[in-house]
């Protein structure tokens, strides 16, 4: 009679235990799987990218990740950032797998060096790699057409050395991992590019994977060459990816190191300090200008700035300010605009971080408009009659308080003044209106305003 309820209770307990045990077991199995750290390389490589990747590499070594997966889509970047990132990959104790993806991504210029430096190179279909000629980015040289070898005779000795250094660097990376060194040299000298399938056929990469899941499946049990001659074999189980996104510090650094923003901060800093100096006590313009200028200098310290260009910008702004304060009929202002525009064009020593020419032209037009307004305003003020000071007395009207022929008293602006006639002829009657022609100390020089309002006694 009581056996059935007890059996039901027993089955219920077993079911409850199974429901509790199963998820815990699955979680434990998931936690026991080897983990890979997923890092993103998006856009132009700069100081913020390097800071983010350095943190990721340090975390991977500290927490024992089995691999670092770099998902890359970049048009290139700074030479300093590229060199440091290549060194970071080569000295990593954790295997670095670079995957150019998703579809439509590229590993151009600096991205080619990163792909060659990685312990395993992979690409998604419809992606591309190459164009590694160091034009502006790495120090000079103009890509030759693919059908012709590069004309090294037209390059300077320094450019040839820089080009040869780039070729040697990429060839050494290719030879280290058994990749196509001849195409690596072609990518530098002739700016050659390959699709993913072409890169796989020419042994530039080891894998082609449509997505990260396919990449992780292909990594199972694969042996990779690490620092020195150390070889590491991947676990036969697929990696469990842990993605690390840039935190607020990296995002702030990426925001501040945008060349356009740093450029605007520099201008805001100068004009804010100028306004504070011209109107002491305002506080807000001065504080805003000082903060903007400090942030701009911090950004320029991280960016590849041409200091000659920066000096020209500062000099140009000072000349424009001088024109507004001490008008020189446009000479200082025109020189300031030319210096400001030239410095803006020369400011960034990088192909990928250069300022936009329309932006520079727009700011130059704004500065020209302000300069034109200042000069026009100056001429307008010069043509106006003075309204204050001793110069403003001439031409004013006063009233005689008494009869006099040579000296007498007059009412001027509600005050009693001593007056003297310039040409004393006849007698000025009380109440007559006189015109001020000048002054000598506290004595006004006057003459009758209208002959009809005076009575002349011969």
Both tokens of residue 359? 């932006």
**For residues 236 and 91, which has the higher predicted lDDT (pLDDT)?**
91
For the chain, the three-class secondary structure string (H helix, E strand, C coil) is CCHHHHHHHHHHHHHHHHHHHHHHHHHHHHHHCCEEEEEEEECCECHHHHHHHHHHHHHHHHHCCCEEEEEEEECCECHHHHHHHHHHHHCCCCCEEEEECCCCCEEECHHHHHHHHCCEEEECCCCEEECCCCCCCCCCCCCCCCCCCCCHHHCCHHHHHHHHHHHHHHHHHHHHCCCCHHHHHHHHHCCCEEEHHHHHHCCCCCEECCCHHHHHHHHCCCEEECCCCCEEECCCCCCEEEECCCCHHHHHHHHHCCHHHHHHHHHHHHHHHHHHHHCCCCCHHHHHHHHHHHHHHHHHHHCCECHHHHHHHHHHHHHHHHHHHCCCCCHHHHHHHHHHHHHHHHCECCCCCCCCHHHHHHHHHHHHHHHHHHHHHHHHHHHCCCCCCHHHHCCCEEEECCCECCEEEEEECCEEEEEEECCCCCCECCCCEEEEEEEECCEEEEEECCHHHCCCCC
The pLDDT, as a whole number, for residue 124 is 95
Mean pLDDT confidence for 213-231: 78
Note the pLDDT of residue 458: 30
Residue range 96-107: average pLDDT?
Answer: 93
Higher pLDDT, 314 or 29: 314
CB 324 within 8 A of CB 110: no
pLDDT at 212: 92
State mean pLDDT over 351-373: 68
| CB within 8 Å of 386: residues ≥ 6 apart | 392
pLDDT band at 60 (very low <50, low <70, confident <90, very high): very high
| Structure tokens belonging to residue 313 | 């910008």
Alpha carbons 79 and 99: distance in angstroms, whole number? 21
User: Residue 198: what pLDDT?
Assistant: 94
* Biggest alpha carbon–alpha carbon distance for the chain: 153
Please give the share of the chain, as a percent, with pLDDT higher than 70.
Answer: 74
CATH 2.40.50.140 fits 390-453, yes or no: yes
Lowest mean pLDDT among 58-62, 354-358, 434-438: 354-358
Going by pLDDT thresholds of 50, 70 and 90, the confidence category of residue 48 is: confident
Domain 15-246 coded CATH 2.30.42.10: no
Residue 353: the pLDDT is: 58
Average pLDDT over residues 127-156: 54
On the question of pLDDT at 436 being above 50, the answer is yes
62-71, 172-181, 338-347: least confident range: 338-347
pLDDT of residue 127: 95
Query: What are 199's two structure tokens?
Result: 């890169």
In this prediction, residues 301-329 reach a mean pLDDT of 77
* Phi (first) and psi of residue 101, to 5 degrees: -170, 170
Task: Return mean pLDDT, the chain.
Answer: 78
pLDDT band at 76 (very low <50, low <70, confident <90, very high): confident
| pLDDT tens-digit series, residues 322-339 | 776 676 666 777 788 888
Domain segments of the chain as ranges: 15-246, 250-383, 390-453
Average pLDDT over residues 197-211: 93
Supply 285's token pair.
């313009």
Each residue's pLDDT tens digit, 126-135:
999 998 887 5
At residue 370, the pLDDT reads 67
């Amino acid at each position: 009679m009581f056996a059935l309820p007890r059996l039901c209770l027993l089955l219920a307990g077993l079911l409850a235990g199974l429901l509790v045990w199963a998820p815990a077991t699955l979680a434990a199995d998931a936690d026991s799987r080897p983990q890979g750290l997923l890092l993103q390389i998006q856009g132009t490589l700069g100081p913020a990218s390097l800071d983010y990747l350095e943190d990721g590499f340090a975390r991977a070594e500290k927490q024992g990740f089995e691999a670092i997966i770099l998902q890359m889509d970049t048009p290139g970047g700074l030479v300093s950032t590229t060199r440091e990132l290549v060194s970071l990959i080569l000295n990593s104790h954790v295997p670095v797998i670079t995957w150019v993806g998703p579809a439509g991504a590229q590993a151009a210029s600096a991205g080619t060096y990163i792909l060659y430096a990685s312990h395993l190179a992979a690409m998604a279909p419809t992606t591309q790699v190459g164009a590694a000629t160091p034009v502006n980015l790495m120090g000079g040289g103009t890509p030759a057409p693919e059908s012709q070898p590069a004309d090294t005779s037209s390059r300077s000795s320094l450019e040839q050395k820089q080009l040869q250094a780039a070729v040697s660097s990429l060839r050494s990376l290719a030879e280290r991992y058994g990749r196509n060194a001849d195409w690596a040299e072609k990518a530098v000298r002739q700016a050659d590019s390959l699709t993913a399938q072409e890169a796989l056929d020419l042994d530039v990469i080891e894998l082609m994977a449509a997505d990260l899941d396919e990449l992780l499946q292909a990594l199972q049990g694969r042996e990779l060459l690490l620092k020195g001659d150390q070889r590491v074999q991947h676990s036969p189980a697929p990696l469990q990816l842990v993605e690390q996104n840039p935190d607020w510090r990296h995002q702030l650094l990426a925001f501040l190191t945008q060349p356009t923003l740093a450029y605007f901060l520099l201008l805001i800093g100068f004009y804010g300090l100028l306004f504070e100096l011209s109107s002491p006590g305002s506080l807000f313009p001065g504080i805003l200008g000082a903060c903007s200028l400090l942030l701009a200098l911090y950004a320029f310290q991280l960016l590849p700035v041409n200091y000659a260009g920066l000096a020209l910008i500062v000099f140009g702004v000072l000349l424009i300010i001088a024109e507004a304060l001490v008008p020189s009929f446009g000479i200082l202002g025109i020189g300031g605009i030319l210096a400001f525009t030239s410095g803006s064009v020369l400011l960034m020593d990088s192909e990928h971080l250069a300022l936009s020419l329309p932006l520079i032209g727009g700011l130059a037009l704004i500065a020209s408009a302000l300069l034109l307004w200042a000069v026009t305003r100056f001429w307008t003020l010069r043509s106006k009659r003075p309204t204050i000071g001793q110069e403003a007395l001439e031409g004013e009207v006063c009233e005689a308080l008494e009869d006099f022929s040579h000296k007498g008293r007059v009412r001027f602006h509600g005050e009693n003044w001593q007056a003297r006639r310039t040409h004393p002829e006849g007698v000025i009657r009380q109440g007559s209106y006189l015109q001020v022609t000048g002054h000598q100390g506290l004595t006004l020089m006057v003459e009758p305003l209208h002959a009809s309002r005076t009575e002349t006694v011969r």
